[in-house]
């Protein structure tokens, strides 16, 4: 029920807002929270408890307790007491079977108590062990919080922002505001963050106010992540002032979780901020001055307050809240009964020191105040206000009041005093062990409302002073945070060549190829593109190849020592194939090396190998100290492979240079001008046809691609390229080789020059040259028209003995062909092997050399 308009109320009654609450349409006002509006509309049951499914209502109204956790617009575990109202929001209960008001699972509260003591599932459900998955599924569905939709997409946008602050003040109460203003007097760069939405827009001279926003933790280097809803601010602050205040603590007595039992601050927020009359008849039980202040507020709001019990003056043995249907109806104090529909209970305030503890502050029990306070603070972190204990009076309530009924120490996890006592009796004789066994303080409030009460109870039961018990470890985040906010905006770096959009506009199917986005093919039938390359002219974007300059007086010495083959005898303008091996002689990468000048080499690598090869070169050069520079120009230079019998004529039409077979031989490298673009042309070809790799400034990519297509070149993608290279038996490093492959087992024994003085992997290659390899990489031709999967087993005498690394159907060869690792005794040309295809063994013949144009005449023509 709303009160008459009051000064200071946060709601704007001229702006009604409506939303759905557990299926009911509820109206509130701008300025309300979802929780306050629902409460004003008469809703009292906001959640069901974790284990016993007891009905729970508003308790703290400050975003600390678990009682108002609900699913809002599909997002679970939202505290509706602080969630701003918004039009059309859909608010639903969670952890319920049927409805918030009637939950079938509440039967566990009626009958489960004796059968579900603390840790029951540890003991009861361990045998038979094989049934644990069933138990786990049942237990997890029976107890818990909201449910995540594992298949949900992004429900909202989250951003991360990196900020710096000279002074970051956490907490916008009087002490925090004063500290912020004082800091601002000596310079700018002061930021104040506070959870309270009412501070949004507050003007403080020289202070930036971020609200509602919540500091999640304090890390080294002054890193403070701040949850501002849809933006995670990652502050780096030179000075951090913590002014998080103190948190009201509940009293521990039977029935302390009934709806209508509230903390004073929660009641005052309902009355003063949202102008809600929270009940008709209230009893106040308090261990500090808060109780008296709330009594005044209630009286002013028209709530009868027949009794205020000051626990500092009277120390009742029995204190029991009783009610019906989960709602408080009366309070019984040492046998004397007081009717009420609102019971305000305060166990004093505990400094909210968690952020300080995470930052490394020492936390000690202050026996004068009866609470834990920070004593030693880490460098760069300060504390002001009641978080230090300032302004707090001594509180010393009974750890637990007697009486009949469930008496909750931890409302998040439904842990009762009986559970705690049982844990102690079972030998969990430290607060950390008891925490893990009972899960007290491990629920959504993260100990804000149960840490101190549990230590008080532990102290009483074990007869150990609180100071000796100490605290449990405070860990970030200080408050629950949405995983989406921590994840931030999803950014997936993608490399695109400068011709990418030409491919996309030509209808290419784009696929990931390592870090690159590349065309798979340009039409439905990759074989059409293969045919074009064989019969006329094709062009493929090979800009993804790694490209390096190796330049300097000792560039050749560096390359000679990096590669197992020779480069010193190459003339300028010539190209040679090279394979890099590791120290262990294993194949790392391959590519071509063109000598452009005496002291300048142009090295290409595999598409995914550029960065690793650059690092490999630089690392070795740092060791050897050659006078040579390694410059990765992969991005600077675009490249295409113009291939097919018509490629020479097409290129000739675009250049004034002589590209005839005589003037531009196979494995030549020449600088030429192609359609107005300075180009390094390499007469090589991975696809086995007459061809030219054209390397040119990347910004000219789209233009030159267009020129080549206009000359009749048909674009072909990765899949046609893979068919074409397989027809030639060309190996793809990483596809056909693995970390154990060496040049001898991969059929490239012709490449290493073991008479060279030294090179990376020489010792290993000398060893490989002398030993008999167990397996070899060979080509194969299927006897039938069946296509083995890459990775398919080579089967010998019924046992797996090898694997297929590549296989394609080749129109030019007229068969299914591929590459495979087979036992050495099966590696001879023409040997029959069996390959498992769809569970059946299919015959194939080992085929040495290229499958198509085995003499290489087309490529060299």
Partner 1 sequence: MSRAFLSPSRCDAGTLTSPLRRALEGANSAAVRDLSLEGVVEIRGDSDLVEVAEGEDLVRLSPQRGYIFTDGDPADVAERLRAGGVLAYDATGALAGMAIESEQVVRRLTDLDLDELPTSGPFAHVTAIVRRADDGWVEVYVQQEYGHYVAEAVVDALTGLDTSRGLTRGQTPDVSDPDGSPA
Site for partner 1 in 74-133 (CB under 8 A): 78, 82-84, 86
Strands 538-541 and 714-715: parallel
C-alpha–C-alpha distance, residues 798 and 89, integer Å: 64
Residue with tokens 């591929």: 818
Q: Of 87 and 429, which CB lies nearer to partner 1 in the complex structure?
A: 87
What radius of gyration, in Å, describes the C-alpha atoms of the chain?
Answer: 38
- 704: contact with partner 1 by CB under 8 A: yes
- 3-class DSSP string for 562-620: HCCCCCCCCCCCEEEEEEEECCCCEEEEEEEEEEEECCEEEEEECCCCHHHHHHHHHHH
Which of these ranges, 37-45, 271-279, 412-420, 701-709, lies near partner 1 under the rule CB under 8 A? 701-709
Which of these ranges, 169-177, 255-263, 518-526, 634-642, lies near partner 1 under the rule CB under 8 A? 634-642
Vertex 705 angle, CA 702 and 709, to 5°: 135
C-alpha–C-alpha distance, residues 229 and 197, integer Å: 11
Q: Of 179 and 542, which CB lies nearer to partner 1 in the complex structure?
A: 542
Query: Which one of residues 635, 800, 814, 849 is an interface residue with partner 1 (CB under 8 A)?
Result: 635
Q: Map residue 74 onto helix, strand or coil.
A: coil
Q: Of 86 and 753, which CB lies nearer to partner 1 in the complex structure?
A: 86
Least separation in angstroms between CB 230 and partner 1: 5
Binding-site size, partner 1 (CB under 8 A): 74
Least separation in angstroms between CB 686 and partner 1: 20
Which of these ranges, 171-179, 224-232, 424-432, 846-854, lies near partner 1 under the rule CB under 8 A? 224-232
Q: Map residue 458 onto helix, strand or coil.
A: helix
- 228: contact with partner 1 by CB under 8 A: yes
Q: Of 268 and 695, which CB lies nearer to partner 1 in the complex structure?
A: 695
Q: Of 5 and 221, which CB lies nearer to partner 1 in the complex structure?
A: 221
Q: Are 521 and 527 in contact (CB under 8 A)?
A: no
Query: Which one of residues 181, 633, 709, 769 is an interface residue with partner 1 (CB under 8 A)?
Result: 633
Which of these ranges, 177-185, 558-566, 672-680, 724-732, lies near partner 1 under the rule CB under 8 A? 672-680
C-alpha–C-alpha distance, residues 566 and 764, integer Å: 18
- 229: contact with partner 1 by CB under 8 A: yes
Strands 55-56 and 69-72: unpaired
Q: Which residues within the stretch 824-853 sit at the binding site for partner 1 (CB under 8 A)?
A: none
Query: Which one of residues 470, 697, 823, 843 is an interface residue with partner 1 (CB under 8 A)?
Result: 697
CB count, 10 Å around CB of 372?
A: 22
- 234: contact with partner 1 by CB under 8 A: yes
Closest C-alpha to 562, from 608, 619, 610: 619
Q: Of 78 and 643, which CB lies nearer to partner 1 in the complex structure?
A: 78
Q: Of 186 and 200, which CB lies nearer to partner 1 in the complex structure?
A: 200
Q: Which residues within the stretch 178-197 sit at the binding site for partner 1 (CB under 8 A)?
A: 197
- DSSP at 206: T
Least separation in angstroms between CB 300 and partner 1: 30
Which of these ranges, 248-256, 352-360, 596-604, 784-792, lies near partner 1 under the rule CB under 8 A? 596-604
Q: Of 629 and 790, which CB lies nearer to partner 1 in the complex structure?
A: 629
The H helix count followed by the E strand count for the chain is 22, 46
Closest C-alpha to 503, from 524, 515, 519, 516: 519
DSSP secondary structure of 267-300? HHIIIIIT-B---SEEEEEESSTHHHHHHHHHHH
- 72: contact with partner 1 by CB under 8 A: yes
Q: Which residues within the stretch 367-386 sit at the binding site for partner 1 (CB under 8 A)?
A: none
Q: Of 78 and 175, which CB lies nearer to partner 1 in the complex structure?
A: 78
Closest C-alpha to 574, from 494, 510, 493, 666: 666
Query: Which one of residues 140, 164, 325, 362 is an interface residue with partner 1 (CB under 8 A)?
Result: 164
Least separation in angstroms between CB 490 and partner 1: 4
DSSP secondary structure of 629-667? EEEE-TTTEEEEEEESTTHHHHHHHH-SS--STTTS-TT
- DSSP at 732: P
Q: Are 232 and 225 in contact (CB under 8 A)?
A: yes
Q: Which residues within the stretch 465-504 sit at the binding site for partner 1 (CB under 8 A)?
A: 489-498, 500-501
- 3-class DSSP string for 754-784: CCCCCCCCHHHHHHHHHCCCCEEEEEEEECC
Which of these ranges, 229-237, 381-389, 523-531, 554-562, lies near partner 1 under the rule CB under 8 A? 229-237
Query: Which one of residues 46, 626, 696, 780 is an interface residue with partner 1 (CB under 8 A)?
Result: 696
Least separation in angstroms between CB 57 and partner 1: 21
Query: Which one of residues 677, 723, 746, 801 is an interface residue with partner 1 (CB under 8 A)?
Result: 677
List, in order, residues 6 or more apart from 720 with CB less than 8 Å away: 521, 526, 527, 529, 530, 533, 538, 540
Q: Which residues within the stretch 536-575 sit at the binding site for partner 1 (CB under 8 A)?
A: 543, 549, 551-552, 572
Residue with tokens 């952020």: 355
Which of these ranges, 91-99, 132-140, 633-641, 786-794, lies near partner 1 under the rule CB under 8 A? 633-641
Burial of 486 (0-12, 13-18, 19+ CB in 10 A): middle
Query: Which one of residues 561, 695, 762, 803 is an interface residue with partner 1 (CB under 8 A)?
Result: 695
Q: Of 654 and 782, which CB lies nearer to partner 1 in the complex structure?
A: 654
Query: Which one of residues 471, 634, 742, 815 is an interface residue with partner 1 (CB under 8 A)?
Result: 634
Q: Are 379 and 404 in contact (CB under 8 A)?
A: no
Which of these ranges, 397-405, 430-438, 534-542, 702-710, lies near partner 1 under the rule CB under 8 A? 702-710
C-alpha–C-alpha distance, residues 36 and 496, integer Å: 52
- 157: contact with partner 1 by CB under 8 A: yes
Q: Of 308 and 510, which CB lies nearer to partner 1 in the complex structure?
A: 510
- 600: contact with partner 1 by CB under 8 A: yes
Q: Of 472 and 544, which CB lies nearer to partner 1 in the complex structure?
A: 544
Diameter over CA atoms, the chain: 115
Q: Of 372 and 516, which CB lies nearer to partner 1 in the complex structure?
A: 516
- 160: contact with partner 1 by CB under 8 A: yes
Least separation in angstroms between CB 234 and partner 1: 7
Residue with tokens 């804000």: 448
- 162: contact with partner 1 by CB under 8 A: yes
- 637: contact with partner 1 by CB under 8 A: yes
Q: Of 468 and 491, which CB lies nearer to partner 1 in the complex structure?
A: 491
């Amino acid at each position: 029920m709303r009160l008459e308009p009051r000064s200071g109320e946060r709601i704007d009654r001229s702006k009604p807002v409506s939303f759905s609450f557990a299926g009911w349409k509820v109206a509130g006002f701008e300025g309300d929270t979802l929780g306050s509006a629902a409460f004003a509309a008469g809703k009292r049951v906001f959640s069901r408890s974790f284990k016993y499914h007891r009905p729970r209502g508003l308790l703290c109204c400050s975003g600390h307790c678990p009682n108002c956790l609900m699913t809002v617009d599909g997002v679970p575990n939202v505290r509706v007491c602080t969630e701003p109202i918004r039009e059309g929001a859909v608010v639903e209960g969670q952890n319920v079977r049927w409805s918030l008001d009637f939950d079938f699972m509440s039967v566990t509260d009626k009958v489960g108590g004796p059968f579900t003591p603390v840790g029951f599932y540890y003991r009861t459900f361990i045998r038979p062990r094989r049934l644990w998955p069933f138990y786990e599924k049942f237990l997890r569905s029976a107890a818990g919080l909201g449910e995540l939709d594992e298949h949900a997409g992004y429900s909202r946008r989250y951003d991360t922002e990196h900020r710096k602050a000279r002074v970051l003040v956490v907490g916008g109460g009087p002490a925090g505001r004063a500290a912020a203003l004082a800091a601002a007097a000596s310079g700018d760069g002061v930021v104040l963050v506070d959870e309270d939405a009412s501070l949004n827009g507050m003007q403080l001279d020289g202070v930036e106010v971020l609200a509602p926003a919540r500091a999640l933790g304090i890390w080294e280097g002054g890193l403070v992540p701040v949850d501002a809803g849809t933006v995670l601010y990652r502050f780096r602050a030179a000075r951090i002032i913590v002014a998080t205040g103190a948190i009201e603590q509940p009293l521990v007595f039977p029935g302390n979780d009934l709806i209508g039992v509230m903390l004073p601050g929660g009641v005052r927020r309902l009355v003063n901020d949202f102008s809600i009359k929270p009940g008709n008849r209230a009893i106040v039980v308090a261990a500090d001055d808060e109780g008296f202040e709330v009594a005044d507020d209630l009286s002013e709001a028209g709530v009868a307050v027949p009794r205020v019990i000051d626990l500092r003056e009277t120390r009742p043995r029995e204190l029991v809240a009783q009610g019906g249907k989960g709602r408080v109806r009366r309070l019984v104090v040492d046998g004397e009964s007081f009717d009420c529909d609102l019971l305000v209970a305060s166990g004093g305030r505990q400094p909210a020191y968690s952020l300080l503890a995470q930052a490394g502050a020492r936390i000690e029990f202050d026996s004068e105040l009866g609470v834990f306070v920070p004593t030693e603070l880490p460098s760069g972190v300060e504390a002001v206000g009641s978080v230090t204990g300032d302004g707090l009076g001594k509180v010393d309530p009974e750890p637990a009041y007697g009486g009949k009924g469930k008496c909750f120490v931890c409302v998040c996890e439904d842990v009762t005093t009986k559970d705690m006592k049982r844990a102690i009796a079972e030998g969990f004789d430290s607060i950390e062990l008891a925490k893990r066994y009972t899960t007290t303080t491990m629920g959504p409030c993260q100990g804000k409302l149960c840490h101190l009460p549990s230590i008080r109870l532990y102290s009483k039961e074990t007869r150990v002073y609180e100071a000796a018990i100490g605290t449990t470890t405070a860990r970030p985040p200080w408050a629950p945070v949405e995983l989406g906010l921590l994840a931030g905006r999803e950014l997936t770096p993608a490399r695109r060549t400068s011709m990418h959009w030409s491919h996309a506009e030509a209808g290419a199917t784009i696929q990931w190829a390592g870090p690159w986005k590349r065309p798979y093919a340009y039409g439905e039938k990759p074989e059409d593109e293969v045919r074009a390359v064989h019969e006329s002219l094709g062009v493929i974007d090979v800009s993804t190849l790694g490209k390096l300059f190796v330049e300097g007086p000792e560039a050749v010495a560096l390359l000679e020592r990096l590669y197992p083959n020779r480069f010193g005898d190459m003339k300028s303008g010539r190209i040679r194939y090279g394979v890099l091996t590791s120290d262990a002689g294993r194949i790392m990468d391959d590519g071509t090396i063109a000598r452009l000048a005496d002291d300048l080499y142009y090295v290409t690598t595999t598409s995914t190998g550029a960065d690793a090869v650059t690092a490999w070169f630089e690392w070795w050069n740092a060791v050897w100290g050659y006078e040579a520079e390694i410059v990765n120009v992969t991005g600077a230079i675009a490249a295409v492979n113009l291939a097919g019998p018509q490629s020479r004529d097409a290129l000739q039409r675009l250049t004034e240079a002589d590209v005839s077979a005589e003037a531009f031989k196979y494995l030549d490298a020449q600088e030429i001008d192609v359609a107005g673009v300075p180009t390094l042309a390499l007469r090589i070809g991975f696809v086995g046809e007459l061809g030219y790799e054209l390397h040119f400034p990347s910004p000219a990519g789209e233009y030159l691609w267009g020129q080549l297509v206009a000359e009749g070149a048909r674009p072909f993608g990765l899949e046609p390229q893979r068919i074409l290279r397989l027809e030639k038996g060309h190996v793809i490093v990483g596809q056909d080789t693995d970390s154990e492959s060496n040049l001898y087992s991969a059929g490239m024994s012709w490449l290493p020059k073991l008479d060279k003085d030294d090179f990376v992997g020489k010792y290993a290659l000398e060893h490989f040259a002398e030993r008999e390899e167990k397996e070899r990489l060979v080509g194969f031709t299927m006897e039938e028209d069946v296509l083995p999967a890459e990775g398919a087993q080579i089967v010998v005498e019924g046992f797996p003995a090898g694997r297929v690394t590549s296989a394609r159907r080749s129109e030019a060869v007229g068969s299914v062909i591929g590459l495979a690792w087979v036992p050495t005794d099966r590696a001879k040309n023409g040997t029959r092997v069996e390959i498992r295809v769809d569970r059946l063994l299919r015959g194939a013949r080992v085929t040495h050399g290229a499958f198509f144009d085995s003499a290489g005449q087309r490529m060299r023509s």
